[in-house]
Amino acid sequence: MNCREVQENLSLYLDQEMSEAEMSTVKNHLDNCLACREELASLRETVSLLSSLEEVIPPASFRSELYAKLENCVSQQRVESGQQKKGVFWHGLLEKFSLLRRHTVFWPVAITVILLLIVSPALLDGVRMAGSKSDNSLIAEDYDAGQGIMSYGLKSGESFDIAANQKMENMSRSIAPKMAADGFADRNVSATSAPELMMATEEAAKQLAAPQDEMADKTIERKLIKNAEIYLQVDDYDTAINSLKEQVVSLEGYITNETANAVDSKGTKRGSLQIRIPQYSFEDFLIGIKNFGKLKNSHIYSQDVTEEYIDVESRLKTMRTKEERLLNILTQSGNLSDILAVENELANTRAQLESLEGRMRYLNNQTEYSTVNISVEQLVVSTQQVTTSGLQGVVERAKEAFIKAINNIFLGLGMSIVFISAAIPYLVVAGIFAVAVWGIWRGLKLQKKE
């Protein structure tokens, strides 16, 4: 044994807890080593001193006081260690930053990150501004549409006719004195013609409410625009379409639109018909539609335009009355400026009258005829009879399928080449970034080892 091992085992030697061989070895070493004998003597003095001390009984509060002191020491150590860790963290961070600046790839990466941080807010603001502009345009369109609907939906043409009557009243007031001053008494026109024209205007305005009152007294005939959407599956497309056309003609209807196309190489067809039939035959046609094929889906709906129809009708009567009054005033006017003013107002009245008549014709057409949209699809496999149509042209179809598969392979190869070519720039940038990160990581690792 050497001195270190002997000094470590001196306590066991004093307590005689070693084996006989070990005790003999330690004793032989102590006989030859002065330092170990001095260490043994010091240890014996300590043991004898401790043995001579009397036993002391600790106070009752000893445990709690000791625990409090230990807790205080631990908290102080934690605060000191936290401050030391913060200092070490910032110091290490500064050291790593100084090491990063020495690498050649640090500055390009840093400049790229800074540019991205600068450009990104501008791009986001541009996207937000574009979105807000589109939202504002949609809101403006909705507002304009709502204003149009509100102005059009005024019952009995209230806003329009009030303004028109006001114009006629002002015009009659200005014409009557001039006609009296110009000597048109022989035409039964005097200063009292202005009140008469005002009364005529009021009568025309009263006629506005008369149709409404009359219609309120009797049962109002509902004006409905009826529509339907039908989806049929048939065994023979051409036969079903021809039968539908014959049925439409027999009901005094007509076809407004027709489309047809082949969906596969076997001649399977799919198409649609848009037909107009008289409204009194609408229900009969829908009942008999099941005779042309298998009804898969149907949607029947209607739109009530009674209120609009009554509104347009009453406005038409009012505009016609206004036109008659303007013609009467025109025959009695002698001043050139008054004649031009009356003719201008008459032209505006006739333009509005033609617009209302066009709307009335449209409503009459929509309510007298119903629109039916029919989608027809030919079944690939017939459900009514056994056919061999599936074997027709099988060789030609197999040839086409083979050629199509080869072309799809070439198409996929070409698209792969294009995709790889387009991805090369991104791969280069990603590779540069990966090499830069790897270089920084490797440098930090080597620095840490040093």
pLDDT digits (tens, 9 = 90+) for 415-441: 989 988 888 888 888 888 888 888 888
**Worst-scoring range by mean pLDDT, 195-204, 235-244, 287-296?**
195-204
Chosen domain end from 317, 334, 367: 367
Q: Hey, how many other C-beta atoms are within 10 angstroms of the C-beta on 306? A: 15
In a domain, 171, yes or no: yes
Taking the CB of residue 344, how many other CB atoms lie within 10 A of it?
Answer: 10
How many domains does one find in the chain?
A: 2
Choose one of 329, 344, 367: the last residue of a domain: 367
Given a contact cutoff of 8 angstroms between Cβ atoms, the answer to whether 201 and 325 are in contact is: yes
Of 367, 385, 407, the one marking the end of a domain is: 367
Q: Are residues 192 and 333 in the same domain?
A: yes
- pLDDT band per the 50, 70, 90 thresholds, residue 273: very high
Q: Domain residues for 8? A: 3-52
pLDDT of residue 113: 65
Mean pLDDT over each residue of the chain, to the nearest integer: 74
- Tell me, yes or no, whether 186 and 324 share the same domain: yes
Does the residue 181 lie in any domain?
yes
- What DSSP character marks residue 54? P
List, in order, residues 6 or more apart from 9 with CB less than 8 Å away: 1, 18, 22, 26
pLDDT the model gives residue 430: 87
- pLDDT-derived band of residue 197, with 50, 70 and 90 as boundaries? very low
| 3-class SS of residue 236 | coil
Give the contacts of 195 (CB within 8 A, at least 6 positions apart): none
DSSP for residue 374: E
C-alpha 218/C-alpha 207 separation (Å) is 17
Name every residue whose Cβ is closer than 8 Å to that of residue 399 and which is 6 or more positions away in sequence. none
Q: Do 318 and 197 fall within a single domain? A: yes
Secondary structure (3-state) at 32: helix
Spatial CB neighbours of 211, under 8 Å, sequence gap ≥ 6:
310, 313, 314, 317
Question: How far apart, in whole angstroms, are the C-alpha atoms of residue 332 and residue 274?
Answer: 54
Confidence of residue 157 (pLDDT cuts 50, 70, 90): very low
Q: Who contacts 431 (Cβ-Cβ below 8 Å, separation ≥6)?
A: none
Residue 228 backbone class (left: φ over 0; alpha: ψ -120 to 50; beta: rest) = beta
- For residue 3, give every residue at least 6 positions away whose Cβ sits within 8 Å of its Cβ, in sequence order, or none: 29, 33, 35, 36
Q: Does position 59 have pLDDT exceeding 70, yes or no? A: yes
